Structure 1
Amino acid sequence: MQVRVQENDFEVATELAAIRRNRPQIGAIACFVGLVRDISEHSEVSELTLEHYPGMTEKALQVIVDQAAQRWPIIDARVVHRVGRLRPSDQIVLVAVATEHRGDAFAACEFIIDDLKTRAPFWKREVTPSGARWVEARQADEQASERWRP
């Protein structure tokens, strides 16, 4: 299971091929790709800058993936999260989970992205026509993550 934080873009097909390689037991891969939107809080967004705490961020992501692997029979998983300056339509994050059956793949993928949104140390700054602003945590993201708690 691999976790990466990087400035460079990623190629979804390449990442999925790496997960599948020499693993005939995989019956399903659920994949989520997050993109930069051109609007947020009713304002046009021309740029998004993502910052992180190197080392700490990767560890937090690995903990999330490990927790998913404790709950579902994951064969492999991959999280690739970009940092730096991004523009609308750029890819931000990839979460891919491989399992024997689709239900486990979907659930584990959704769990990972929900927890990533609230528990991974990333900071977002948007540039809008009225200037730059830091993005606050969203209640909907917290609620999505909390539904996985016992």
Structure 2
Amino acid sequence: MQKVIYLNKSRKYRKLFYIFVVMLSSFTVGSYFRNSYLLYVGFVLIILSILYECLYSLPVLEAIVLPKENEKYFKVVIGNQQSDFWKIKKHIVINGWIYLCIFQEGSNKSFKLWLHKSNFKDKNETRLLAKKIILENL
């Protein structure tokens, strides 16, 4: 039986943080370029950036299905759709953090993500994923 590791989706907090940083930079632009046309250019770019982030956000990785004993590839659930033939290109495991650079053979889609203990629904799945990556060299 294949083990499924479910991940927490935390995009909304990243969006809120991104909007906060952009608004802070807009106040900086407004105070620095007070009497210049660059003020209007800066505000237009900031508004376009916020709209782009809100409308065209990236797909969210929801789950990782670990392979069976003798398989090399694992499955990934992205936006409620399961896709096959994912392989780890690069990985780093440090304490509670796991960095994964994964790609899908055939379509050349790739994801780069840092996973922390808080990204997993079950905290022990961090160890399970790290053990699977290191011992079996996926």
Shared fold (TM-score greater than 0.5)?
A: no
Which structure carries more strand by proportion?
A: 1
Greater C-alpha Rg: 2
TM-score, with structure 2 as normaliser: 0.27
Instruction: Report 1 or 2 for greater relative contact order, CA contacts < 8 Å, sequence distance ≥ 6.
Output: 1
Which structure carries more helix by proportion?
A: 2
TM-score, with structure 1 as normaliser: 0.26
